Amino acid sequence: MASYDGHQGWVNYLAVQPGAQGLGYGRALMAHIEAALLARGSPKLNLQVRSSNTAVLAFHHQLGYAQDEAVSLGKRLIADGPQP
């Protein structure tokens, strides 16, 4: 899922089924998203990846993405795990 807020683009979710990983689908999806956002005038594309997800970080580094000098803040409104 990708979006454009009028200032910058975001990739909110990108997933490829494990059995289909390494076949170029993720790379093709990212290229399509980049082209669509560029056509809308987005000067930048952002995405967030958990620091522990080294495989996904490596994938995006291969596509030219680098860590920004920004801090991501979050607040849980619903606790992780099973709900009562």
Nearest to 6, CA basis, from 44, 57, 55, 61: 44
Instruction: Please tell me whether the overall predicted TM-score, pTM, comes out greater than 0.85 for this model.
Output: no
Model confidence at 83, in pLDDT bands (50, 70, 90)?
low
Residue 2 has what pLDDT? Answer: 94
Computed over every residue of the chain, the mean pLDDT equals: 93
For residues 72 and 24, give the distance between their C-alpha atoms in angstroms, rounded to a whole number: 29
Residue 81 has what pLDDT? Answer: 78
Q: Which residues contact 13 (CB under 8 A, 6 or more apart)?
A: 1
Q: pLDDT, tens digit, for every residue of 40-68?
A: 999 999 999 999 999 999 999 999 999 99
Which residue in this structure is represented by tokens 């998203």?
33
For residues 56 and 35, give the distance between their C-alpha atoms in angstroms, rounded to a whole number: 21
